[in-house]
């Protein structure tokens, strides 16, 4: 059996010095970008790109679709809400954009793979993937039925594996693409009545982080990933009228604008509001009793309201999955995922 050759001291020192110099360069680069006026930033052009948004039948997904269409991207929408998909496509059409919509239950691996194949055949290879769809229970862990815990993980986390595996190979082949994970500040801090939701968002943040490292370790720097971590968002159907003290909930249009900005600037992790980054650093320093006191006082009751829209993009878990509308001649089981293409039914 052979033994590994010991590393020379000079080589170790040179590698450490190289690491420190390169790290210093990246830190200075980040500082310059942070303070650089927006007009001097390099914004990626998405015109002509094919962008897929899960949960595109309403809420934040719809807002993202409209912004991408305005920038000249061809938008592909996935959701379980047929009526919502049709409405989003019509809105995209009204601003001169181009959109395709497919009914897809992202919690079903086979359904995702089938919808992905149809998307490739009818639209083309996806260059921008926005994993936006998400659901929440809004109850204590012991009061949450097992099947709802399972469903929350299937939609909020496991679905990302299926969507990314569907479209990443072509991105790698062309060394070009962008995967956006819409996570949450709940991916960094816990909250009452959101144990399941927080666990899925922690996983989503970890998924994005590990995927980025994996790609760069393989020398693939043309495929970017971004994790979006906002505080509670108003009027998207998931956390309407959450009773959050001290910190105002976010406006959906502001969140959508920030996501598109992060996409165009190839940002890696976006916290909203951005000063939460300071709070996360403090969380690592102060005693747990301080963190607990803060979290217990910040959000009294995050329970999703009963006005939630029936869409992957902003849903109460009780609304998922929505069954096919009897008037719509489509069936997932027969691979006919088509709902609308540029506002026209193509069943």
Given the residues 26, 43, 197, 202, the one annotated as active site = 197
Whole-number pLDDT of residue 181? 98
Return the closest-CA partner of residue 112 out of 323, 315, 335. Answer: 335
Q: What confidence score (pLDDT) does residue 241 get?
A: 58
Give the model's pLDDT for residue 283.
80
Q: Report how far Cα 319 is from the mean position of its chain's Cα atoms.
A: 20
In the prediction, which pLDDT does 300 show? 66
Both ends of the chain: CA-CA distance in Å?
A: 65
Residue-level pLDDT at 22: 82
Question: Which 8-state DSSP code applies to residue 3?
Answer: -
Does the domain formed by 47-345 have CATH 3.20.20.140? no
Which secondary-structure segment (H or E) carries 148? helix 146-153
- Virtual CA dihedral for 95, 99, 102, 103, nearest 10 degrees? -20
pTM of the model: 0.82
Averaged pLDDT of the chain: 84
Question: Which residues, listed in sequence order, are joined to residue 225 by a DSSP beta bridge?
Answer: 179
* Domain assignments of the chain as residue spans, ordered by start: 47-345
Report residues of the chain scoring pLDDT below 50: 306-336, 343, 345-347
Cα gap 269→260, rounded to integer Å: 13
The region, left, alpha or beta by phi > 0 then psi within -120 to 50, assigned to residue 271 is beta
Say whether 202 is catalytic: no
Q: What is the reported pLDDT for 346? A: 45
Which are the contacts of 330, defined by CB distance < 8 A and separation ≥ 6? 82, 103, 324, 336, 337, 338, 339, 347
């Amino acid at each position: 059996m052979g033994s590994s050759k010991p590393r020379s001291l000079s080589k170790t020192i040179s590698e450490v010095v190289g690491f420190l110099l390169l790290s210093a360069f990246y830190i200075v680069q980040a500082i310059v970008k942070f303070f650089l006026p927006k007009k001097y930033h390099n914004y990626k052009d998405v015109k002509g790109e094919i962008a897929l948004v899960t949960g595109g039948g309403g809420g934040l997904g719809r807002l993202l679709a409209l912004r991408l269409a305005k920038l000249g991207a061809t938008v592909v929408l996935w959701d379980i809400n047929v009526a919502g998909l049709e409405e989003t496509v019509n809105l995209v059409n009204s601003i001169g954009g181009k959109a395709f919509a497919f009914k897809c239950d992202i919690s079903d691996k086979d359904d995702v793979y089938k919808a992905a194949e149809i998307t490739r055949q009818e639209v083309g290879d996806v260059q921008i993937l926005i994993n936006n769809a998400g659901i929440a229970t809004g109850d204590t862990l012991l009061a949450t039925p097992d099947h709802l815990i399972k469903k929350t993980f299937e939609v909020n986390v496991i679905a990302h594996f299926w969507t990314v595996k569907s479209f990443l190979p072509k991105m790698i082949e062309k060394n070009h693409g962008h995967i956006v994970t819409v996570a949450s500040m709940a991916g960094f801090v816990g909250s009452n009545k959101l144990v399941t939701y927080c666990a899925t968002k922690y996983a989503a943040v970890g998924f994005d982080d590990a995927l980025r490292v994996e790609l760069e370790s393989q020398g693939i720097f043309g495929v970017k990933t971004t994790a979006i971590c906002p505080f509670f968002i108003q009027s998207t159907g998931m956390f309407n009228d959450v009773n959050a003290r001290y910190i105002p909930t976010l406006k959906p249009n502001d969140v959508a604008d920030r996501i598109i900005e992060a996409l165009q600037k190839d940002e890696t992790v976006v916290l909203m509001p951005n000063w939460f980054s300071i709070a996360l650093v403090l969380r690592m320093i102060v005693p747990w009793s301080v963190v607990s006191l803060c979290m217990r006082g910040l959000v009294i009751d995050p329970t999703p309201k009963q006005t939630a829209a029936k869409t992957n993009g902003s849903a109460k878990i009780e609304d998922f999955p929505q069954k096919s509308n009897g008037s719509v001649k489509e069936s997932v089981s027969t691979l006919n995922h088509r709902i609308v293409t540029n506002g026209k039914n193509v069943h």
